[in-house]
Chain A
Amino acid sequence: MAQAGFPAIVKDAGLAALVALGVGAPLLGLQTVPGERGLDLVTRPGLLLATVCAVFVGRLLLGLFLANRRSAARSAARRAADAPPRIGLTPMQRVGKMVAPAFLALAVLMPVLPGIGRYEIDLGTLVLTYVMLGWGLNIVVGLAGLLDLGYVAFYAVGAYGYALLAKFFDLSFWAALPLTGLLAAAWGIILGFPVLRLRGDYLAIVTLAFGEIIRVVLLNWTSLTGGPNGMSGIPRPTFFGLPFSMSGGEGTFAGFFGLEPSPIHRVMFLYYIILALALITNFVTIRLRRHPVGRAWEALREDEIASRALGLSVVAVKLTAFATGAMFGGFAGAFFATRQGFISPESFTFIESALILAIVVLGGMGSQLGVAIAATLMIGGFEVFRGLDEYRMLVFGLAMVAIMVWRPRGLISSREPSVSLGARRNVGAEHVAEGKG
């Protein structure tokens, strides 16, 4: 396919169509339907033909596009070789510097912008929850280079932790929040200990297993967690002790401020809580990167042997990463519980872990801004395609593949140094290691 001329591209598309025919024939061309005795088959030649044609045309266009881009890249390389070297920031980089503040301003002002209703604020809250989870997991995967496929376990610990603290000790959201973080961090350490010696995919499967174990336990410990029915009636957060209530009475948020009682108040309040939590996560992560602990995480990702030779305790470095990441997952879980008022094990399946990991990888491991953009794209995009109904997950899966093929190192792959003597220059992605843990 390399130096492909048009005939080669057509031939390649033809082969792709042939494969599509073979792949589609049994499952698209034939459908099982309940019949009188067992299952019957119906044939769908039209659907099969349409799919095969679509694959042919799609592959053809892709082939032409790639061939075109290759020749464009060659001439661009020639031009670049002739041009004088550029000094300072490129215009793109200058724009890049503005993205984060613009994002922040938009996030802060979003609920009060005109035309923003309850649906948009709810969506914003959801996006921010995943931004926070992405940032939390980024500590473990992006900074420390430890592949964690069971991050949802800490989200679950936070959610159930708050629900149980509220049920048995009558704690309010604000009183329980720090405790849920500590609880999740403790679980991070408990689960971190056995996996200290494991690397790579062994670590991945054991973290996945832990996530599943916690879910199965939540599902079956009916007396404590309500089992599959979950826990409901989880108390909502108050505004400095003022509950949000539609009664508009003396001791409520609306009553105190003399506002017309409206459900939007709580929705906005929840939005700002998760915004604040996410910003705290971001702030702590940024500070930790410039702190010996954070540098040790990155050193571990880059080269564990060299880290050990410099006297870093691998145990301490790994456990702090697990614990810190877990803590933020726990906070997010507690927020999830108080926002929904109801939780069940169904919210904490492997697919959630996979989604959060996808956000981190798509964002560009280690990049805070990249993770935020990726979470917005994935969760927002998922909502945009709501109209596709049952095809939504289909498109979602395919999009995940396409994005990774398009940008294997994520959206923002360069690494910002944590300290510098002169002007700070980002480190190119080709130098940054991804960790073996």
Chain B
Amino acid sequence: MSAPILAVEGLTMRFGGLLAVDQLSLSAARGEITAIIGPNGAGKTTVFNCLTGFYRPTGGSITVTHENGETFRLERLPQHHIVRDARIARTFQNIRLFGGMTVLENLMVAQHNRLMREGARLPLALVGFGPYMRREAAAVDRARFWLERTGLIERADDAAASLPYGAQRRLEIARAMCTEPQLLCLDEPAAGLNPRESDALNELILFIRDTGADGRGCSVLLIEHDMSVVMTISDHIVVLDYGRKIADGAPAAIREDPKVIAAYLGVDEEEALAVDAALQKQ
């Protein structure tokens, strides 16, 4: 097996006196869906923020290895290179769309770096001629592809802010996929979805894992509270509590791990019940 797409070693993130992530090591295998779960405040989103360059970690290393063997040390990269070169994309827990731009425009912004590389800098591109225009048409096609996959094609010319909640979540995923990532980080994508939407989401995430942006699949890192989603689609689960990893393994192993159950029971009854319900269902 090749090197994991993501290897986190001894990641530490300290905010003043608060140790949000403590010596965390985890890895995500290529072509798999890795879920990060844990009670509220366990440091999951902080890990995402370190991965995607919003925070500079206090310590530790984050290594991304592409299929061709190229490696990137994310903790040293400027943020825009993390997306452009290491090819990591993310969504947000509280949806962040460009609300006043249309759905299609949102997806075009996501392709900014590629379009700039493909000749948008040429003066001809500015006046609307030249080979660049073909590239732009290709970008619209790519956007169209993801709009069809996410069922948003009918709403392509509407303002992103005017979409219903579930559609906004899907749009955010479509937008992240338009950057053509190798690793997609989803922060609670199922939050607030109804069961039908949640099922569609599962399908979408599985499609992304197997097909991805270029037909070769895309690894997925997933933060989720909805245990039915986690247990259904994850290939691998990492459990965090108080910024530390308390368990790591296949879903079947995690669901019987006493430490995990204790963490959930000890912290949040509601979530512990959710785990329990998920166990019953499986």
Q: Quick check: do A and B touch in the complex, using CB within 8 A?
A: yes
Besides A311-B113, A419-B104, 5 other CB < 8 A contacts? A299-B109, A303-B99, A309-B52, A428-B162, A431-B99
Of the candidates B101, B144, B159, the one whose C-beta lies within 8 Å of that of A299 is: B101
Minimal Cβ-Cβ distance residue in B for A295:
B109
B44 at the interface (CB under 8 A from A): no
- B97 CB contacts on chain A under 8 angstroms: 302-303, 306
- In the docked arrangement, what's the CA distance between A256 and B112, Å? 51
The residue that B159 contacts in the complex, of A288, A306, A427, with Cβ under 8 A, is A427
Assess the A311–B98 pair: CB atoms within 8 A. Answer: no
Kindly state whether residue B229 has any CB partner on chain A within 8 Å. no
Contact B115 A292 (CB under 8 A): yes
Q: In the complex, what distance in Å separates the CA atom of A310 from the CA atom of B171? A: 13
Instruction: Establish whether residues A421 and B96, one from each chain, have CB atoms under 8 Å apart when the complex forms.
Output: no
B157/A423 in contact, CB under 8 A: yes
Interface check A258, CB cutoff 8 A: no
Chain A residues whose C-beta falls within 8 Å of the C-beta of B156 in the assembled complex:
420-422
- With A296-B112, A311-B112 known as contacts, the answer to whether A417 contacts B157 (CB < 8 A) is yes
| Docked CA distance A299–B54 (Å) | 17
Q: Which of B54, B82, B104 is the most central at the interface, judged by chain A CB atoms within 10 Å of its CB?
A: B104
A-contact bits for B74-108, CB 8 A (1 contact / 0 none): 00001111111000011010001111111011001
A393 on the interface (CB 8 Å rule)?
A: no
Dominant secondary structure of chain B at its interface with chain A: helix
- What 1/0 flags go to A301-317 for Cβ under 8 Å of B? 11101111111111000
Q: Is the CB–CB distance between A310 and B100 below 8 Å?
A: no
Whose C-beta in chain A lies nearest to the C-beta of B96?
Answer: A306
Evaluate contact between B158 and A299: CB separation under 8 angstroms.
no
Docked Cα-Cα span, A288 to B120, in Å, equals 11
How far apart are B220's CB and chain A's nearest CB, in angstroms? 16
User: Given A421-B140, A421-B144, A299–B80 Cβ distance below 8 Å?
Assistant: no
* A298-335 near B? 1/0 per residue, CB < 8 Å: 11011101111111111000000000000000000000
Q: A298-B98, A431-B161 are in contact. Are A419 and B89 (CB under 8 A)?
A: no
List chain B residues, Cβ under 8 A from A306: 92, 96-98
* Interchain CB contact under 8 A, A291 and B125: yes
Whether a CB of chain A sits under 8 angstroms from the CB of B128 is yes
**How would residues 405 to 430 of chain A score, 1 for a CB under 8 Å from any chain B CB and 0 otherwise?**
00000000001011111111101100
B170 in the interface, Cβ–Cβ < 8 Å?
Answer: no
Residues in A neighbouring B101, C-beta threshold 8 A: 295, 298-299, 302, 417, 427
User: Are A433 and B99 closer than 8 Å at their CB atoms?
Assistant: yes
Report the separation of the CA atoms of residues A312 and B109 in the bound assembly, to the nearest whole angstrom.
9
Complex Cα gap A295–B110 (Å): 10
Question: Residue A217 at the B interface, CB < 8 A?
Answer: no
19 residue pairs of the A-B complex, CB under 8 angstroms, read A288-B126, A290-B128, A291-B125, A293-B116, A295-B101, A298-B98, A298-B109, A302-B98, A305-B96, A310-B89, A311-B80, A417-B105, A420-B157, A423-B157, A424-B157, A425-B157, A431-B162, A432-B100, A433-B99
Q: Are B83 and A291 in contact (CB under 8 A)?
A: no
Across the A-B interface, the 7 shortest Cβ-Cβ residue pairs:
A311-B83, A432-B100, A302-B98, A306-B96, A431-B161, A313-B80, A431-B159
B179 within 8 A of A: yes
Contacts A295-B112, A311-B83; A418 near B105 (Cβ below 8 A)? yes
In the bound complex, what is the Cα–Cα distance between A432 and B102 (angstroms)? 10
Complex Cα–Cα for A431 and B159 (A): 7
Rounded to whole angstroms, the CA-CA distance of A311 and B54 in the bound complex is 11
- Contacting B at CB under 8 A, from A221-247, are none
Is the Cβ of A309 less than 8 Å from the Cβ of B83? yes
Question: In the docked arrangement, what's the CA distance between A303 and B110, Å?
Answer: 13
- A292's contact among B81, B116, B159, B162, by CB below 8 Å, is which? B116
Q: Mark B201-233, 1 if CB is under 8 A from A, else 0.
A: 000000000000000000000000000000000
Instruction: Assess whether A433 is in contact with B90, with CB atoms less than 8 Å apart.
Output: no
> Given A287-B126, A295-B105, A431-B162, A308 and B79 touching (CB < 8 A)?
yes
The answer to whether A284 touches B126, judged by C-beta atoms less than 8 angstroms apart, is: yes
Q: How far is the CB of B164 from the nearest CB of chain A, in Å?
A: 14
* Distance between B160 CB and nearest chain A CB, rounded to angstroms: 8
Chain B residues with Cβ below 8 Å from A299 are 98, 101, 109, 112
Is the pair A309, B89 in contact by a Cβ cutoff of 8 Å?
yes
The docked-state distance in angstroms from the alpha carbon of A428 to that of B100 is 8
> Are B80 and A308 touching (Cβ within 8 A)?
yes
Which of chain A's residues has its CB closest to B80's CB? A313
Q: B residues 141-193 with Cβ under 8 Å of A?
A: 144, 153, 156-162, 175-176, 179
Instruction: Flag if B80 contacts A291 (CB, 8 Å).
Output: no
A415 to B159, alpha carbons, bound, how many Å?
10
**Who on chain A is nearest to B98 by CB?**
A302
| Smallest beta-carbon distance B266→chain A, Å | 33
State whether the Cβ of B53 lies closer than 8 Å to any Cβ in chain A.
yes
B18 within 8 A of A: no
Q: Which residue of B lies closest to A315 (CB)?
A: B80
Q: Taking the nearest CB of chain A, how far is it from the CB of B182, in angstroms? A: 13
Q: Which residue of B lies closest to A415 (CB)?
A: B100
Residue B127 interfacial (CB < 8 Å): yes
How many Å lie between the Cα of A432 and that of B97 in the bound state? 11
Distance in angstroms between the alpha carbons of A420 and B109 in the assembled complex: 13
**A87–B162 alpha-carbon span in the complex (Å):** 19
Chain B residues with CB below 8 A from A308, complex form: 53-54, 79-80
Cβ of B144 and Cβ of A431 under 8 Å apart?
no
Closest to B79 in A: A308
Known: A306-B97, A417-B157. A292 touches B120 (CB 8 A): yes
Which residues of chain A have C-beta atoms less than 8 A from B120's C-beta? 291-293
A291 vs B108: C-alpha distance when bound (angstroms): 10
Instruction: Please give, as numbers and ranges, the residues of chain A lying within 8 Å of B144 by CB-CB distance.
Output: 421
Please, which residues of chain A bring their CB within 8 A of the CB of B162? 428, 431
**Closest beta carbon of chain A to B218's beta carbon, Å:** 16
Q: Which residues of B contact A295 (CB under 8 A)?
A: 101, 105, 108-109, 112
A375 to B54, CA, bound (A): 41
Bound CA span A62–B127, Å = 49
Question: Which residues of the partner chain B approach A305 to less than 8 Å between Cβ atoms?
Answer: 54, 92, 96
CB-nearest residue of chain A to B109:
A299
CA distance A185 to B81 in the complex (A): 26
The residues of A that contact B54 with a CB separation of less than 8 Å are 305, 308-309
Q: Report Cα–Cα, A249/B127, bound state, in Å.
A: 41
Cα of A292 to Cα of B125 in the assembled complex, Å:
10
Q: Within the complex, what minimum Cβ distance (angstroms) separates A74 from chain B? A: 25
